[in-house]
Amino acid sequence: DSDDGFQGCEDAIPTVSTWGLIVLALVLLVLGKVYFGRRTAKA
């Protein structure tokens, strides 16, 4: 059971990293749009 669980964790690491990068990219895009959008609206 321990080995199986460990393998499962190892298998999930790349998946989590990939999703993390995707989420981070989306968040940065949204923040950038909001930030520049507000600046443009103010100016």
**Could you write out the DSSP letters of every residue in the chain?**
-HHHHHHHHHHHHHHHHHHHHHHHHHHHHHHHHHHHHHHHHH-
> Above 60 in pLDDT, residue 35?
yes
pLDDT in tens, 2-21: 555 555 555 655 666 788 89
Q: Is the pTM of this model over 0.75?
A: no
Residue ranges per structural domain of the chain: 1-43
pLDDT of amino acid 30 = 96
Say which amino acid occupies 40: T
Share of the chain above pLDDT 90, in %: 30
- Which amino acid makes up residue 7? Q
- In whole angstroms, how far apart are CA 36 and each of 22, 23, 24, 25? 21, 20, 18, 16
